């Protein structure tokens, strides 16, 4: 963090500034900022259309420094993580990353995130919501150290078809051999960088983890190398479009953490979220396992499903009906996908709709035309996710686009 960044951020948005803030201010022509864990994060810098198409056709940079990051180290670190998440962490090898969820004792999802296994006894957990107190409760009685390292690690998401070629232009020998969900160590401009082949766009991409003191050095090196690769700085709105296409769910949008809900029926199980593929019931005990065993094989009372909608108007916050009359659910995320050329969304549907009943479903969309609102009933049907899946995401080595 630079000495001048903090006052600038407070003037702009009343929020704290991160290690890349000076550079973000220079690129943010719209001066559109949002609150991400108390930090000023750009929602859109230039044009959401330009930024979105850069993700799918060029390379993009997005500051992920505000993401919550926790170090879990010690002889019992593996046991603690395995006690926390629903996947079997014993199968995660050093130098690999796994997407995980964790639950409360009732089997309701607390949060999701990525677990980085840096060595046999060293892990890092990255997530959207603060989890320190939850981690400390889980680790009670284990020989392990847990610390919040959010401010100790700056992060950049470098995503898009030309991202690997860009890193090779910087002299990162061997980056093309890094497999999806792999981790490797490199140096850029004399600064150490940990690079993981991970991201939130469903496309070819990487995440760079660096010391805050080296943040601007890394940024400037990437921007210099990116001139010939179409590198563009992006904000949250473009990233949100890409994550909907890629099939990723977002806390506080598609579901609520079991820690924060005020009404018990607002929390959700992995089966309701369609995340049963993340659950390993035959591993040692983890939080929520007993509850999931009781629920296993039962039809969820409601389920978050991907849907496709006729015509081209996004169904933001729309209600879902059966036979145009019975209200059976609501849309959480919606998008006319410029890449897929499909009208897509995620929606909560009450059983049996979206599960055994998949026909004669409709969404109620309101359109404003020349300051007058019009109501449209559009047919929809369940779809499989992700909506966008390109072979370059997992190709090793990636092509030089």
Q: Residue 219 pLDDT > 50, yes or no?
A: yes
- Nearest residue to 219 (alpha-carbon basis) of 171, 263, 157, 168: 157
Q: Residue 12 pLDDT > 70, yes or no?
A: no
- Nearest residue to 310 (alpha-carbon basis) of 359, 244, 363: 363
Summarised one tens digit per residue, pLDDT across range 19-30 is 999 999 999 999
- Nearest residue to 38 (alpha-carbon basis) of 14, 22, 20: 14
Sheet containing 145-148, strands listed edge to edge, beginning at the edge strand earlier in sequence = 96-103, 109-119, 122-127, 68-73, 145-148
**How sure is the predictor about 13, in pLDDT bands with cuts at 50, 70 and 90?**
low
How many angstroms separate the CA atoms of 36 and 197, rounded? Answer: 23
Q: Average pLDDT in the 23-44 region?
A: 94
The pTM assigned to this predicted structure is 0.93
Summarised one tens digit per residue, pLDDT across range 183-203 is 999 999 999 999 999 999 999
Summarised one tens digit per residue, pLDDT across range 155-182 is 999 999 999 999 999 999 999 999 999 9
Cα→Cα distances 304→22, 223, 239, 256, 269, Å: 39, 39, 21, 12, 11
Assigned CATH for 68-151 = 3.30.70.1400
Q: Residue 53 pLDDT > 70, yes or no?
A: yes
- Nearest residue to 203 (alpha-carbon basis) of 311, 58, 98, 338: 58
Q: Average pLDDT in the 94-122 region?
A: 97
- Nearest residue to 233 (alpha-carbon basis) of 394, 22, 382, 90: 22
Strands (E), 67-144: 68-73, 96-103, 109-119, 122-127
Q: Residue 63 pLDDT > 90, yes or no?
A: yes
Summarised one tens digit per residue, pLDDT across range 220-242 is 999 999 999 999 999 999 999 99
What is the rounded average pLDDT for all residues in the chain?
A: 94
Selected from 3.30.1360.120, 3.40.50.720, 3.90.1150.10, 3.40.50.920, the CATH number assigned to the domain covering 5-65+153-246 reads: 3.30.1360.120
- Nearest residue to 269 (alpha-carbon basis) of 392, 102, 149: 102
Q: Average pLDDT in the 85-100 region?
A: 98
- Nearest residue to 164 (alpha-carbon basis) of 204, 200, 124, 212: 204
* Residue with more model confidence, 12 or 97: 97
Q: Residue 340 pLDDT > 80, yes or no?
A: yes
Q: Average pLDDT in the 126-130 region?
A: 94
How many other CB atoms sit within 10 Å of the CB of residue 57?
16
CA-CA-CA-CA torsion sign (244, 292, 258, 331) = positive
Assigned CATH for 299-386 = 2.40.30.110
Q: Write down the pLDDT at residue 160.
A: 98
Q: Write down the pLDDT at residue 9.
A: 41
Summarised one tens digit per residue, pLDDT across range 256-297 is 999 999 998 899 999 999 999 999 999 999 999 999 999 988
Q: Residue 399 pLDDT > 50, yes or no?
A: yes
36 strand-pairing partners = 39
How many angstroms separate the CA atoms of 234 and 237, rounded? Answer: 8
Cα-based torsion angle of the residue sequence 347, 302, 68, 119 in order, rounded to the nearest 10 degrees: -110
**How sure is the predictor about 32, in pLDDT bands with cuts at 50, 70 and 90?**
very high
What residue ranges do the domains of the chain occupy?
5-65+153-246, 68-151, 299-386
Here the tokens at position 336 are: 């006319």
Cα-based torsion angle of the residue sequence 274, 277, 282, 285 in order, rounded to the nearest 10 degrees: -60
How many angstroms separate the CA atoms of 43 and 342, rounded? Answer: 24
Alpha helices in 58-131 (DSSP H): 77-84
Q: Write down the pLDDT at residue 6.
A: 42
CA-CA-CA-CA torsion sign (197, 256, 349, 312) = negative
Q: Residue 2 pLDDT > 80, yes or no?
A: no
- In the chain the first and final C-alpha atoms are separated, in Å, by 34
How many angstroms separate the CA atoms of 348 and 307, rounded? Answer: 10
């Amino acid at each position: 963090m630079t000495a001048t960044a903090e006052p600038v951020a407070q003037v702009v948005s009343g929020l704290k500034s991160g290690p890349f803030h000076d550079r973000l201010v220079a690129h943010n022509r719209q001066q559109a900022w949002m609150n991400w864990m108390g930090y000023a994060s750009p929602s859109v810098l230039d044009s959401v259309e330009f930024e979105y198409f850069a993700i799918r056709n060029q390379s993009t940079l997005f500051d992920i420094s505000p993401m919550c990051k926790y170090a879990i180290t010690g002889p019992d670190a593996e046991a603690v993580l395995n006690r926390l998440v629903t996947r079997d962490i014993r199968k995660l090898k050093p130098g690999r990353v796994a997407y995980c969820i964790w639950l409360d004792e009732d089997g309701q999802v607390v949060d999701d995130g990525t677990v980085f296994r840096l060595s046999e006894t060293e892990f890092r957990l990255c997530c959207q919501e603060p989890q320190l107190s939850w981690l400390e409760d889980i680790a009670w009685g284990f020989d392990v150290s847990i610390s919040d390292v959010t401010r100790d690690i700056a992060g950049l998401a470098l995503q898009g078809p030309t991202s690997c070629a860009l890193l090779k232009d910087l002299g990162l020998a061997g980056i093309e051999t890094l497999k999806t969900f792999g981790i490797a160590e490199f140096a850029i401009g004399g600064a150490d960088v940990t690079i993981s082949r991970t991201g939130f766009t469903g496309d070819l991409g990487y995440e760079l983890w660096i010391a805050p003191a080296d943040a601007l050095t890394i940024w400037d090196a990437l921007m210099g190398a990116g001139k010939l690769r179409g590198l563009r700085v992006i904000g949250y709105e473009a990233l949100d479009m890409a994550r909907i296409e890629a099939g990723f769910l977002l806390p506080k949008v598609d579901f609520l953490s079991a820690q924060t809900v005020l009404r018990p029926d607002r929390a959700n199980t992995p089966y309701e979220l369609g995340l049963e593929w993340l659950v390993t019931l035959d591993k040692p005990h983890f939080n929520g396992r007993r509850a999931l065993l009781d629920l296993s094989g039962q039809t969820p009372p409601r389920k978050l499903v991907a849907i496709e909608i006729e015509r081209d108007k996004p169904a933001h916050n729309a209600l879902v009906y059966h036979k145009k009359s019975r209200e059976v659910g609501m849309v959480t995320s919606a998008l006319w996908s410029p890449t897929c050329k499909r009208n897509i969304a995620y929606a909560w549907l009450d059983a049996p709709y979206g599960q055994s009943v998949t026909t004669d479903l409709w969404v109620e969309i309101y359109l404003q035309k020349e300051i007058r609102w019009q109501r449209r009933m559009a047919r929809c049907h369940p779809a499989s996710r992700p909506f966008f899946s390109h072979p370059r995401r997992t190709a090793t080595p990636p092509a030089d686009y």
